[in-house]
Amino acid sequence: MPETKLIVLGGGGHASVVCDVARAAGFRDVLVCDPNVRTGTLCGFPCAVEDEDVLLERNAADADFVVAIGHRIARARLLERCRRAKARLAVIVHPSAVISPFARLEDGVVVMPRAVVNAGALIGRGSIVNTGAVVEHDCRVGEAVHVAPGSVICGGVEIGDRVDLGAGSVIIPGRRVGADAIVGAGSVIVRDVASGTTVFGNPARPKPAP
């Protein structure tokens, strides 16, 4: 059972799921921090209405942190603030997830219930592998990526930083998705996706310019 205090940065809906996963993973000393939080507790854990930078500075030596913000850009910014503060980021994995001993989860990764990360896969710093998602063998997933519920990333796929894979999306083997791309829910990626592109459909195609 983890003994270090865990500070959850974020107090919205995604943070509530992170709190659930943290509890299932054995964390008991947990504080939720969000400057805009309006309740005293979140999923049974106490909340602090406090600036993240102040909290990071005061607790960097004594606690582990997890960034519990779903939006990829906001999450990336807060991850950078954690980096500057030299804060330790916890890796949190739900007990029902299946993680190969030959996979690598970098600092700050959260893996939700029934997700699978297979041999040779790398999940980058601060990324989310959400409920029921599958990351197959030898994939490279960048920082602050959201692999949404039910997504399937087949073998040998490379995903850049800050990518948002919509729920139920599928990427066939060997494709590349560039940084800051957005993949619509239910899309099927059969070709490489350029950085900064929004694609959707089966097969996925770029979103037309307005």
> For residue 209, what pLDDT is reported?
61
Most confident of the following: 48-52, 58-62, 149-153: 149-153
Dist. CA 17–CA 149, nearest whole Å: 12
Confidence category of residue 39, pLDDT binned at 50, 70, 90: low
pLDDT digits (tens, 9 = 90+) for 82-126: 998 888 999 999 999 999 999 999 999 999 999 999 999 999 999
Backbone angles phi, psi at 14, to 5 degrees: -65, -40
The answer, yes or no, to whether residue 14 has pLDDT greater than 70, is yes
**pTM (predicted TM-score):** 0.93
Confidence category of residue 12, pLDDT binned at 50, 70, 90: confident
pLDDT digits (tens, 9 = 90+) for 146-201: 999 999 999 999 999 999 999 999 999 999 999 999 999 999 999 999 999 999 99
Give the residue with greater pLDDT, 54 vs 25.
25
> For residue 132, what pLDDT is reported?
98
- Crossing angle (nearest 10°) for helices 52-59 and 72-84: 40
> For residue 164, what pLDDT is reported?
97
CA distances from 186 to 116, 148, 189 (A): 19, 10, 10
